[in-house]
Amino acid sequence: MRAELAPSTAYDDLPYTRGGDVDRADVGALVQSAVDGDAAAWKALVEGLSPLVWSVVRAHRLSDADAHEVYQTVWFRFAQHLGRIREPQKAGSWLASTARHECLKVLKSLRRLTPTDDPQLLDRVSEDRTPEQSLLDSEEAAVESERVRHLWQEFEELGDRCRQLLRILMASPPPSYQEVSAALGIAVGSIGPLRQRCLRRLRARLEARGAV
């Protein structure tokens, strides 16, 4: 786990060109505040890094029930290890790496122990409407909605590597390449070129479909 994070140190000195909304430099400070008992700092960490954890889980194509469980396990472990994490500023990578390993384990345990589908939990999910979803319900947004669905369909039909990489990259706020590296177990240096390829490929699919 740690060994995979090590080779990317050469990039540590470069300023991140990604990671807009939540300044990743603040992550270390938020972790420290949370360790000191600041619940608001913890909440800010959850807000800023939840989409990354969710992206990692989704990128591994777990069932919904497994995805929910792994997501929770990752945050429980993070809370437990808070204050013991050696590089708090890299909490995003820690979470991504933990999520990846837990996903791989769940995929490896061929047969889960019990029926894991909690219908109640999944029902609640379907009732959740984000503001964006509600907006899409309006008639004016029908065309836009169609466009988004086409984009998503073409994304889902990409090869595994591209689909995985793009699912991580599209987390909001955008993850750093360090975090992407931790999420997928690939070298930081390979992410940029792979990203370009995958996005070109997706664009080509969209153009072929005439849904530009």
Residue of 24, 71, 178, 182 interacting with another protein (CB under 8 A):
71
Task: Give the count of residues interacting with another protein (CB under 8 A).
Answer: 75
Residue 196 interacts with another protein (CB under 8 A): yes or no: yes
- Least distance between another protein and beta carbon 81 (Å): 7
Using the CB atoms, write b or e for 139-160: b if 16+ within 10 Å.
eeeeeebeeeebeeebbeebee
- State the alpha helices, DSSP H only, in the chain: 2-5, 25-35, 39-59, 64-81, 91-108, 119-127, 131-137, 142-156, 160-169, 177-184, 188-209
The least distance separating another protein from the CB of residue 57, rounded to whole angstroms, comes to 10
Encode burial over 99-121: b for 16+ CB neighbours within 10 A, e otherwise: bbbbbeebeeeeeeeeeeeeeee
For the window 98-117, what string marks contact with another protein as x by the rule CB under 8 A?
Answer: ----x--xx-xxxxxxxxx-
- 209 lies in the site for another protein, by CB under 8 A: no
Residue 100 to residues 51, 68, 114, 196: CA-CA distances in angstroms? 14, 14, 22, 23
Interface with another protein in residues 138-177 (CB under 8 A)? 148-149, 151-152, 155, 159-162, 166-167, 169-172, 174
Under rule CB under 8 A, residue 80 binds another protein: yes
Q: Is 34 in the site for another protein (CB under 8 A)?
A: yes
Query: Is 55 an interacting residue with respect to another protein (CB under 8 A)?
Result: yes
Sole binder of another protein in the list 51, 61, 85, 211 (CB under 8 A)? 51
Based on the shown chain and the rule CB under 8 A, indicate whether residue 86 belongs to the binding site for another protein: no
